Structure 1
Amino acid sequence: MIRWSEDGTDHTALWRSEAGLPPPKRVLVADDTLNADQAYRLACEGTALLWRGDFHNGRQLLQALARRIERKQPKGKGKASKDTAPASLTQAFHLHRQAQGQRARILAMLLIAVDADYRVNLRRAPDFSAACTEAYGPAGEPFVVSLRELQALVGAHEWRKKGVNIPALGATIHPHYGVFSPLRGEYLELLAQAPLPASDLAFDIGTGSGVIAALLTKRGLAKVVATDLDPRALACARENLERLGLAARVELQQRDLFPEGRAPLVVCNPPWVPAKPSSPIEYAVFDPDSRMLRGFLAGLKDHLAPGGEGWLIISDLAEHLGLRSRQQLLDWIAAAGLEVAARHDIRPSHGKTRDADDPLHAARAAEVTSLWRLRAA
């Protein structure tokens, strides 16, 4: 619960935070009379601002806070002095994550109260009911949430309506809130081109939006068993597969990694970077201590049919950042009783590979995404 005082009365409400942030201990009611400099100072000091002014003005205040944060952070290769420049890409990565976390904490200090029916009682506030229902389920009781998270709900709602075009699939995937969107298509190109070891059965480990399961069935797999721990991901995959007319050939299971049994093809696209996520959506990108990667490799041999292949789809970004070495990956493969039958590589084409102002540009520019075809040794 979150607590605050307003008009001489103490109030409490349910606190929502998808990032798992605790409710702020200090809450000040704020309106259009509060200027951006004051708001920034209070937010940096840990005081949350429960917005009671015009909704559009609140949104502009959030943008003003973001601009003040950016002015505090040097950008580009030439902006940092020799004394402040990171000594390595590993340090640059950790500093970047630290700055991202600090930015998220400050921006999360601007709060919005939402009624039990998902209405926001502020002047010029839009209708959030559809976006909130998709993310949180049916309306229940009033709550307080950061304006930034509320905007993320709306963004996810629009992505869900519009969808993401997947050229390798020849169709559109509609990601749900909290489920990673398959915006990077190069790994799907690898999946579409690699020679299939069999056409009767495949396992898709960590299905997410269901895009890999859909692509495998499009390639002719008679049946795919797709697993995920996240109920949101399973609901998202189910909806996408039904929309594509593929649901009858895909069995969805809520599991941590593998289903029971063996298959001639087992595919996994684990998070690529061994680091701590700061929100649920980041679990699709960051894998603490390479837990999912190591779990997939360790259990793969016991779930491969004789002569079968395990397809590991992973980027070498972690290697360029100094977070995991190529030798470490090869050692894990060997320790699991596996050998590399082949590897297919492709370079990513997303915008950050060309953004010299990105603090991690050197690593992104060198990045290669690979499909490792693994067999029992």
Structure 2
Amino acid sequence: MTATIQHIHWHENGAEQTARWRSEAGMPPPKRVVIADDRTNADVAYRLACEGTALLWRGDFQNARQLLQALARRADHKHGKGSKGGKKSAKAPKTPATPTEAFHLHRQAQSQRARTLAMLLIPFDADYSIPLRRAPDVKLACNEAYGRGEEPFIASLRELLGLIGAHEWRRTGVEIPALGARIHPHYGVFSPVRGEYVQLVADTPLPKGASLAFDIGVGTGVLSAVLAKRGVARVVATDQDRRALSCARENLARLELDQQVELVETDLFPEGRAPLVVCNPPWVPARPSSAIEYAVYDPDSRMLRGFLDGLAAHLSPGGEGWLILSDLAEHLGLRPRQQLLDWIAAAGLKVLGRHDVKPVHPRASDASDPLHAARSAEVTSLWRLGAA
């Protein structure tokens, strides 16, 4: 589906100006835009940004980056993460009564911070060059995220820095011990930095006769690659996101596993049955604030329930479905364990076994994280499911 092209309007040099608007986060073009440059004061810029007024930058690019950092410090100070001079914010943030409230307050603060920082805008020419002093060459990063350039546009500096970061992830890759190789995530495709779930798939004994497997929601292709490396002769991997399919295709070709893995663009299951069906759905049942967040948030547990409800019809007799799922949602009060067990039973499935592992990512031990209590208790599980 082609996204609707939006435009941003502003007044400059005594005339009304317009340009194409780009936002991968799906933010609408700001209605109020002022021109900013090297003389712009950070406090003034922050006040305007908080009011929803965007600042279109016409100064030195590196000074724009410094201004964005200054805005971020002010935003963090407002939400109690720190402040100028190292003191706490005078107005302490609301103390949440429950883990669920903590989660929603954290998401609200993240969203507000993102909207504020997205108000610093920069111009792009049609070939992705930036007509500002000391601007870097970002053509490759933009091509990877946006595709071929067609016309000049305006985007937020924060989004551009995200594109540059994604380009570096794609270039250097993520080391996957289970593969003895690197996986290179594309922009907008969830990176397999949480290695414990990959290791669960690498260590769990394969069902007997598992010469065929389905990988539901292929993403970067990391789980398909692990299954193929383990000796599964043929893997059929699905995704409805073309960025993910392109990413998986490139990774599997680099690993010389593309002849073992067939990629199919579809929602959830391919045709037929398999002795092994694997799915690592988004772990948190909440509404994404942008298209990119669909890899993390599963509104109303749509993908999880879709996998469970369709699994029995796609398992060969005696086959297993492997559901890789964190219990973070349970610790946040978003989805109780009993609800998951009820969904499994209602889908005509039974639990054959479960393998658990504690996460080792930095947030699990970061006491300053607003969700630390939930993250420190989190367990990632591989649920082995079979037809009841």
- The question of a shared fold, defined as TM-score above 0.5 by the shorter chain, is answered with yes
Deviation at 1:11, TM superposition (A): 1.1
Structure 2 residue 31 is the aligned partner of structure 1 residue 55: no
Instruction: Determine the structure 1 residue equivalent to 2:72.
Output: 66
Q: 1:287 aligns with which of 298, 305, 309?
A: 298
Instruction: Determine the structure 1 residue equivalent to 2:134.
Output: 124
Instruction: Determine the structure 2 residue equivalent to 1:191.
Output: 201
CA–CA distance in structure 2, aligned partners of residues 257 and 84 of structure 1: 40
Structure 2 residue 303 is the aligned partner of structure 1 residue 297: no
Instruction: Determine the structure 2 residue equivalent to 1:13.
Output: 19
Any idea what the Cα deviations from partners look like across 1:188-231, whole Å, max 9, x if unmatched?
A: 11101111013310000000000000000000000000000000
Any idea what the Cα deviations from partners look like across 1:103-126, whole Å, max 9, x if unmatched?
A: 000000000110001110100000
Structure 2 residue 38 is the aligned partner of structure 1 residue 38: no
Is 2:78–2:89's contact at 8 Å kept on the other side of the alignment?
no
TM-score (norm 2): 0.95
Q: 1:101 aligns with which of 101, 111, 128?
A: 111
Structure 2 residue 169 is the aligned partner of structure 1 residue 159: yes
Q: 2:182 aligns with which of 169, 172, 194?
A: 172
CA–CA distance in structure 2, aligned partners of residues 46 and 83 of structure 1: 22
Structure 2 portions without partners, runs of 5+: 1-6, 83-87
Helix, strand or coil: the match of 1:305?
Answer: strand
Q: 2:152 aligns with which of 115, 135, 142?
A: 142
CA–CA distance in structure 1, aligned partners of residues 9 and 129 of structure 2: 20
Instruction: Determine the structure 2 residue equivalent to 1:235.
Output: 246
Helix, strand or coil: the match of 1:342?
Answer: strand
Q: Which amino acid aligns with 2:187?
A: Y
Is 1:75–1:359's contact at 8 Å kept on the other side of the alignment?
no
CA–CA distance in structure 2, aligned partners of residues 86 and 209 of structure 1: 36
Instruction: Determine the structure 2 residue equivalent to 1:27.
Output: 33
Deviation at 1:279, TM superposition (A): 1.8
Q: Which amino acid aligns with 1:147?
A: L
Any idea what the Cα deviations from partners look like across 1:151-181, whole Å, max 9, x if unmatched?
A: 1111111110000000111110000011110
Percent of aligned positions that are identical: 72
CA–CA distance in structure 2, aligned partners of residues 260 and 155 of structure 1: 37
Any idea what the Cα deviations from partners look like across 1:227-254, whole Å, max 9, x if unmatched?
A: 0000000000000000000000100011
CA–CA distance in structure 2, aligned partners of residues 74 and 328 of structure 1: 35
Helix, strand or coil: the match of 1:298?
Answer: helix
Is 2:79–2:93's contact at 8 Å kept on the other side of the alignment?
no
Structure 2 residue 225 is the aligned partner of structure 1 residue 219: no
Is 1:210–1:237's contact at 8 Å kept on the other side of the alignment?
yes
Is 2:80–2:93's contact at 8 Å kept on the other side of the alignment?
no
Structure 1 portions without partners, runs of 5+: none
RMSD over aligned Cα atoms: 1.4
CA–CA distance in structure 2, aligned partners of residues 222 and 233 of structure 1: 22
Deviation at 1:281, TM superposition (A): 2.0
CA–CA distance in structure 2, aligned partners of residues 163 and 209 of structure 1: 11
Change beyond 3 A, Cα 1:322–1:357: same
Change beyond 3 A, Cα 1:81–1:340: farther
Helix, strand or coil: the match of 1:248?
Answer: coil
TM-score (norm 1): 0.98
Structure 2 residue 377 is the aligned partner of structure 1 residue 366: yes
Structure 2 residue 353 is the aligned partner of structure 1 residue 345: no
Deviation at 1:345, TM superposition (A): 0.2
